Amino acid sequence: MQNNRVAVLGIYVTDLVFRASRQPAIGETLIGSSYIMGPGGKGSNQAVAAARAGAAVTFISKIGKDAFGESGLSAWEREGITSRVVQSETEPTGAACIFVNESSGENAIIVVPGAALSLGAAELDAAAGAITSARVFVTQLEQPIAAARRGLEIARAAGVITLFNPAPAISLPDQFYSLCDYVVPNESEAASLTGVSVSSADDARRAGDILLKKGAGAALITLGEKGAVFHTPERSVYLAAFFAGRAIDTVGAGDAFVGAFAAALAREIDPLEAARFASAAAGISVTRPGAAAAMPTREEIERLLAQS
């Protein structure tokens, strides 16, 4: 049987998402129009996106022994995700405070990773079997960089495809990029990693060249509603965004993209086709509220691809 396993290292937090006409100013109290509470954290969102997109997913993380942690455990069980999640006796599960602009769907986020901040190389060594038995390993930067690096090293040594979503972006040593088959930043992350201001496909190509020079195998730069650029030493292809309806909530759109891309790579689809599959997943996710809750299924993604 084909190995379609994806291992994701990242954080889980509970998201509190508030919709309002604008962000409040310092010292101001603003009445919002609605709020929802639900599963979030980039790693966990990507794990849910990959599972719904058809992969067999293992999630590696650390949470607390509290009500928010319980909601993470039930979410992974519901989604059929295997949990390699350590529960700390002393540290809490994290949370995110998310503003969503009720007319544009754009968001601003403060995330507190909680127990996941003490994830280190030791926890990754303990979960090495889940990584080496996967076809694709995925991580981001909401947990400490040492954990991300160890995960990438374990995956690389075992010949597992490595997918790195540098979010939130921080300055990284070049050796880090050489552990990555795919680096998948959004425009602002690509800009902060390369110093190139990114707002068009040509800018993304310039930033992509720098990421390749730093050692990445390929750069896949997302540009929100403007699409994405798939950039490798051999080819550079612009992918238009998919329209699946009005964007009401962009929280987790990047995670939908990364998770669906990982799931498609795990099925050994051509990487450019996998990137189109990922774009379609992101296009659907923005039409729905919430982060993990908004992730589409493989059938929904394939239906949108067939219509386009």
Query: Is 36 within 8 Å of 165 (Cβ atoms)?
Result: no
* Residue among 96 and 263 whose Cβ is closer to ligand RIB: 96
Q: Does 13 bind ligand RIB (CB under 6 A)?
A: yes
Question: Rounded to the nearest whole angstrom, what is the least distance from the CB of residue 15 to ligand RIB in the complex?
Answer: 5
Q: Single out the residue of 8, 47, 50, 96 in contact with ligand RIB (rule: CB under 6 A).
A: 96
Question: Rounded to the nearest whole angstrom, what is the least distance from the CB of residue 168 to ligand RIB in the complex?
Answer: 9
* Residue among 128 and 247 whose Cβ is closer to ligand RIB: 247
Q: Does 109 bind ligand RIB (CB under 6 A)?
A: yes
* Residue among 32 and 215 whose Cβ is closer to ligand RIB: 32
Q: Does 185 bind ligand RIB (CB under 6 A)?
A: no
Question: Rounded to the nearest whole angstrom, what is the least distance from the CB of residue 281 to ligand RIB in the complex?
Answer: 14
* Residue among 145 and 157 whose Cβ is closer to ligand RIB: 145
Whole-angstrom distance, CA of residue 196 vs CA of residue 82: 39
Q: Does 227 bind ligand RIB (CB under 6 A)?
A: no
* Residue among 108 and 122 whose Cβ is closer to ligand RIB: 108
Q: Catalytic annotation on 270?
A: no
Q: Does 10 bind ligand RIB (CB under 6 A)?
A: no
Part of the chain binding ligand RIB (CB under 6 A), chosen from 57-65, 169-177, 250-258, 264-272: 250-258
Residue nearest to ligand RIB (CB): 40
Q: Single out the residue of 6, 212, 251, 294 in contact with ligand RIB (rule: CB under 6 A).
A: 251
Question: Rounded to the nearest whole angstrom, what is the least distance from the CB of residue 306 to ligand RIB in the complex?
Answer: 28
Question: Rounded to the nearest whole angstrom, what is the least distance from the CB of residue 7 to ligand RIB in the complex?
Answer: 19
Q: Does 41 bind ligand RIB (CB under 6 A)?
A: yes
Q: Does 142 bind ligand RIB (CB under 6 A)?
A: yes
DSSP state string for the chain: ----EEEEE---EEEEEEEESSPPPTT-----SEEEEEEE-HHHHHHHHHHHTT-EEEEEEEEESSHHHHHHHHHHHHHTPEEEEEEESSSPEEEEEEEEETTT--EEEEEEEEGGGG--HHHHHHTHHHHHT-SEEEE-SSS-HHHHHHHHHHHHHTT-EEEE---S-----HHHHTT-SEE--BHHHHHHHHS---SSHHHHHHHHHHHHHTT-SEEEEE-GGG-EEEE-SS-EEEEPPPP-S-----TTHHHHHHHHHHHHHHTT--HHHHHHHHHHHHHHHTTSSSSGGGPPPHHHHHHHHHH-
Q: Single out the residue of 255, 260, 288, 298 in contact with ligand RIB (rule: CB under 6 A).
A: 255
* Residue among 128 and 138 whose Cβ is closer to ligand RIB: 138
Look at the alpha carbons of 41, 146, 119, 86 in this order and tell me if their dihedral is positive or negative.
Answer: positive
Q: Which of 80, 106, 47 is nearest to 258 (CA)?
A: 47
The amino acid sitting at 118 is: S
Residues that bind ligand RIB (CB under 6 A): 13, 15, 40-42, 45, 96, 109, 111, 142, 251-252, 254-255, 291
